[in-house]
Amino acid sequence: MAKETMSKDIMDILGPVLGEELAAAVIEHRKRTLKRPLTAYAAKIQAREYLLTGDPAGAAEMQIFRGWQAIKCDWYLKEKAREAQSINSSPRRTTVDAARDFLSGEGHSGDAFGFPGIIRH
């Protein structure tokens, strides 16, 4: 099979899933950046994985952005969960924060660090 035909076959597989521009970017990423051209069979497997994520375009963009050769649905979902966790997690409370609160009296009803009977001065 000629290279021209092979690229068209791969585009025919990925295009409907990702759109023409993103499919071309994935093909280019594999060919030039990773120097591991995508085969038609691998494109079918990738298309299935993209669809399983529920966000094919997001998965393909993550693959390119992270420099991955391929992507699996569970990799994508774990990364998205990790990103959401880091966004939603509250900032860590430091000793300086605790000391500042203690000195200002915030969060305490006259007791030191929430221990009844230990009075702040």
Q: What is the pLDDT along the chain (121 residues), one digit of tens a residue?
A: 566 666 889 999 999 999 999 999 999 999 988 888 899 999 999 999 999 999 999 999 999 999 999 999 999 999 999 888 877 665 666 676 667 776 766 555 555 555 665 565 5
Residue 70 CB partners (closer than 8 Å, separation 6+): 42, 45, 46, 49, 63
- How far apart are the C-alpha atoms of 106 and 22, rounded to whole Å? 52
Confirm if 69 and 75 have CB atoms less than 8 A apart: no
| pLDDT at 34 (0 to 100) | 85
- Structure token pair of residue 69: 């050769």
- Give me the amino acid identity at 80: K
Domain ranges of the chain: 1-90
Q: How far from each other are the two terminal CA atoms of the chain, in whole angstroms?
A: 84
pLDDT at 5: 67
Residues in the chain: 121
